[in-house]
Structure 1
């Protein structure tokens, strides 16, 4: 006989009742039937689980071991069943429509792709903006269901305090070079080595520009020029050697461009998912958050440069802001 969950529940019931008679009553069984079932369970486990006495039953050493495991296994299985039921209900009950907002970057498309897998009948629409505050406002107004944004370092999330923001992951900021740039063939780049460069990045309304300026000041220089432009134009400026670019470590591989980490990781980028709790069920938000984290993990795994950088952290990242990225990319 193979041991089943119902057998563990029977053993627990006997231990809690303290006698076969009381346990049989609680389980709705005749005592002879319960006794026969207990003997089959004991044969399957290799020994007696209870000692009978005038005052009821007492667990043997083997019985205590089984009961100890039962206290772990049964609640875990119950929790698994509940989580699975919530996940299975989410697409049918709450995923008729997903209105997603996002800033520049690959995560929005990857999230749409993953949503299409778990909720194939749902209507998914997207809205992009360079402004994190604009996306936060659309959440407050109920015009978006979820928003993917990023903030610099430890900066506060954008928008209304009624919104819920959860961290997806933290990326180091890398530098983008044309393949022919002298520093493209190296490893980690010191920011001071780039004092004579012109720069390009995508716009935003957070503090990234100020943080970049402060990092350059610590490195002993002021940036000559910063081109703020869309992603396609940024890529072009880097490819033709007009500028070096700033990007998250998960930036996808692009022909003609090499990305390199900065020594000491002077700049970081936090990916966040936001929603309004009054308009989203907790199970829906949990599902979308899990999918967004999976999307980031996929992007990290596809980036050879990011993987090499993580491998070079010698375990230090497991205690720092990149712990989640390490786990998901590994």
Structure 2
């Protein structure tokens, strides 16, 4: 994108010849800003990955376009002149505006109207949410184990919403997204129906000290929270298999590992879900959205209802909630 600032020069009042010059572009304003921020041409060249002579020559061409010197340079560095301050002030307004325009344009180009684009990590809400919305609006989905990837896609306009999660005591992710807490859930364990704890109403984390473990991958703090919970229970966890859901399920079914799972999980045949006594691990279901995402009130409501439906489909969790108020779907 270019800013077309034309500049002509006449040598005499009666001679109005104009001479062609280059157009000022956003990249030129970035150079001016970088030199000012770095405090010297040499430092700016290093940041921009350019040779200093090349940046110096570019700066001189920019100064010719703008009609004067932009920086006073000496052994102490580079300081903006009055003209440089003027150009720098405009650059600090124009560059963010151009970036916002580009992001909005990308978002507009990728937005199927009038539908929703929803990303999600492994969780209980996406299927129910899509089912509820798709009856009236078009929905496209994208899944990833990386919450950071999904958050970035929403920030850059490639998705409208993201369904993800965080440990119970963790804050919402930083960035430009707007967040709603959909639920606060305990973490349960998934074991083989032949496991000695399979018939228990709940099991203490310390009672599983000798087990091997399986979890699905993620880029949050859950691994650290699990290690901390085990330390509080008086042991260090053994082998931890980080793998996909089918492999976790297989390892639990054959008795090779105990799987950490969300309380809304629906156990497959041959598996039993058992609550952990005292809820030493908690998980918050989160819905993040772009500030311009369509119909947020509806999507938040439908996400909470989808979670509530998932709780009702889990007799183990529903029974646990009767004994442990304060968890479950948020109001």
Instruction: Give the alignment's TM-score, normalised by structure 2.
Output: 0.64
Among 273, 288, 305, the residue aligned to 1:294: 305
2:132 maps to 114
1:124 maps to 139
Any residues of structure 2 matched to 1:272-291 within 5 Å, and which?
272-277=286-291, 279-281=292-294, 284-291=295-302
C-alpha distance in 2 between matches for 1:268 and 1:172? 4
User: Per-residue deviation at 1:131?
Assistant: 0.9
Partner-residue secondary structure (3-state), 2:255: coil
Among 209, 231, 234, the residue aligned to 1:217: 231
User: Per-residue deviation at 1:210?
Assistant: 0.2
Q: Deviations over 1:171-195 (max 9, x none)?
A: 1000111000000111110000001
Q: Deviations over 1:144-187 (max 9, x none)?
A: 01100000112122241x21000001110001110000001111
1:103 maps to 121
User: Per-residue deviation at 1:323?
Assistant: 5.8
C-alpha distance in 1 between matches for 2:209 and 2:127? 35
Q: How many pairs are equivalent? A: 220
Listed as ranges, the gaps of 5+ residues in structure 2 are 1-111
Q: For the structure 1 residues 323 and 241, does the alpha-carbon distance in structure 2 shift closer, same or farther, using more than 3 Å as the test?
A: closer
1:168 maps to 182
User: Per-residue deviation at 1:310?
Assistant: 1.3
Any residues of structure 2 matched to 1:180-329 within 5 Å, and which?
180-277=194-291, 279-281=292-294, 284-313=295-324, 317=325, 320=326, 322=327, 324=329
Any residues of structure 2 matched to 1:41-60 within 5 Å, and which?
none
Partner-residue secondary structure (3-state), 1:184: coil
User: Per-residue deviation at 1:272?
Assistant: 0.5
Q: For the structure 1 residues 128 and 323, does the alpha-carbon distance in structure 2 shift closer, same or farther, using more than 3 Å as the test?
A: closer
**Higher-helix-fraction structure:** 1
Among 156, 160, 167, the residue aligned to 1:152: 167
Q: Which of structure 1's runs of 4+ aligned residues deviate more than 3 A?
A: none
Partner-residue secondary structure (3-state), 1:224: coil
User: Per-residue deviation at 1:300?
Assistant: 0.2
User: Per-residue deviation at 1:308?
Assistant: 1.2
C-alpha distance in 1 between matches for 2:174 and 2:142? 17
C-alpha distance in 1 between matches for 2:113 and 2:287? 17
Instruction: Give the alignment's TM-score, normalised by structure 1.
Output: 0.64
C-alpha distance in 1 between matches for 2:134 and 2:146? 26
Q: For the structure 1 residues 240 and 323, does the alpha-carbon distance in structure 2 shift closer, same or farther, using more than 3 Å as the test?
A: closer
C-alpha distance in 1 between matches for 2:172 and 2:146? 12
Q: Deviations over 1:97-117 (max 9, x none)?
A: 211100012311111101023
User: Per-residue deviation at 1:295?
Assistant: 0.4
- Counterpart contact for 2:123–2:164, Cα < 8 Å: no
Listed as ranges, the gaps of 5+ residues in structure 1 are 1-93
Partner-residue secondary structure (3-state), 2:197: helix
